[in-house]
Amino acid sequence: MVLIVLCLVTGVAGLGYLAGLRQPPSVRVPEARQYNVDVFVVQPADVQEMISAYGTAQAEKQVVLSAQVSGEIVEIYPDLKIGELVHATETVVSGNGESTASPGTKLVEIDPRNYTERVVQTESRIAEAKAELSRLDQEEANLERLTRQLQKDLTDLEEEFAKMRELVAKKIATDSDLRRSQLEVRVVETKLVQNQNDLDLIPMRREQIVRRIASLQNDLQMTQLDLQRTKVQAPFTGRLSRVNVEEGQFVKVGDPLLTLADASLVEVPLPVSLEDHGKLIPFLRAGRKPAVELAERESAAARWQGELVRAAPQADEQTRTVTVYVRVDNREQTTPLLPGMFVQARITGPVLHGVLAVPREAVLNQRGFVFDENAAQRRDVEIERTLHSLAIIKSGFQPGDRIVLSNLDVLYDGAPIQLNTTRTLRDELQREAIPMVRLVESTDR
């Protein structure tokens, strides 16, 4: 026990001695760190928003030509190939005022023989009906002439019958003579009644023939139309985009023959948000057509120029977007915009006048810093709205302020800073790979 107590006392004494040997740590005064920063000069400016959307180009005029009659394809256009230019029938007015019809391209011909025969048969039936009508007119004239003759004969017989009664009364003639005279009167009366009935039926028979002729003429028009439809021609000048037939093929009514497109005017449907639609609709209501730049991808430079021409009257229930339509006139383009191409469009939007637009990176957690005599001065910032990579400032920054763009996560109020580079709004917009905001010069206002 004595040994154990002795060891404990010795240990405690050793620890005390060692603790006395420890030196207090040296105190180092921290040096203030200076930060190199990039600044942005705040100036009021007029900026124009560019609204971005994607869509697929399509020909404004495109039609699928289908067979309107049945039959065998007996002839096709020699150059009936995809991409070939075909022409519609056009009327050309010369300098002296005379107009001549330029025949269009006959693309396909369906066997016309059955339809030609039907036209001949229908014309023959019409001729027969007209001949029947002429015979009816002649029959009516004969009946009228016979009626007049019977009426005259009846008058004579009635006079003879009256004389015969007088003779019988004077016992000069017999009753048999009287009955024979009366019978002759009745025979003529019967013929007269029958003849008059035939004459009364003439108008009804004529109307039946006239209606039959009208029906046959309608049939003839339809048959002639079917005969015309055996020759399929281009309804407008354009290029073939699809060919579905070959010579010798049998087609039925409604079978697609080929597809024709006029790519001189191309239309691009673009789905835009309801917010963007609200920015564009005032232009359309005012009759203005905002300019549109189109490119094959988002980061590419504009290759085609178009204009916004109209908007759909209702929104899509599934996507909650509204479709607007851009028209591109390929006759004015260096490279034509082909139907079927997927393009990115940048639509010229509204102009915001006299706003303080700064890079969005200059505001972090609703605060920013201003470069003030090599020190960072903290400002509480309120953003009115964002415009792609820019923030429109409502309060916090003033015109002429040089606001800090870098090291915002470590800066504090009064931190020493050193100017590195100075940028302006024009510099910021030129740095954008996808320009979605345009600086409006004074000449554009």
Task: List per-residue pLDDT tens for the chain, 445 residues long.
Answer: 878 877 787 877 777 666 666 666 655 545 568 889 999 999 999 999 999 999 999 998 899 999 999 999 999 988 888 888 888 887 666 666 666 667 788 899 999 999 999 999 999 999 999 999 999 999 999 999 999 999 999 899 889 889 888 888 888 888 888 888 889 989 999 999 999 999 999 999 999 999 999 999 999 999 999 999 999 998 888 889 899 999 999 999 999 999 999 989 999 999 999 999 999 999 999 999 999 999 998 888 899 999 999 999 999 999 999 999 999 999 999 999 999 999 999 999 999 999 999 999 999 989 999 998 889 999 999 999 998 889 999 999 999 999 999 998 899 999 999 999 999 999 988 888 777 888 887 644 4
Helix (H, G, I), strand (E, B) or coil at 1: coil
Beta bridge partners of 329: 265
Distance CA(170)–CA(135), nearest Å, equals 52
Paired tokens of 424: 């302006």
Question: pTM for the whole thing?
Answer: 0.67
Paired tokens of 163: 């004389």
What does the chain come to in residues?
445
Please report the pLDDT score of residue 10 as a whole number: 80
Place of tokens 């075909």: 86
Please report the pLDDT score of residue 445 as a whole number: 40
140-to-143, 146, 174, 192, 197 alpha-carbon distances in Å = 5, 10, 41, 14, 11
Distance CA(422)–CA(404), nearest Å, equals 9
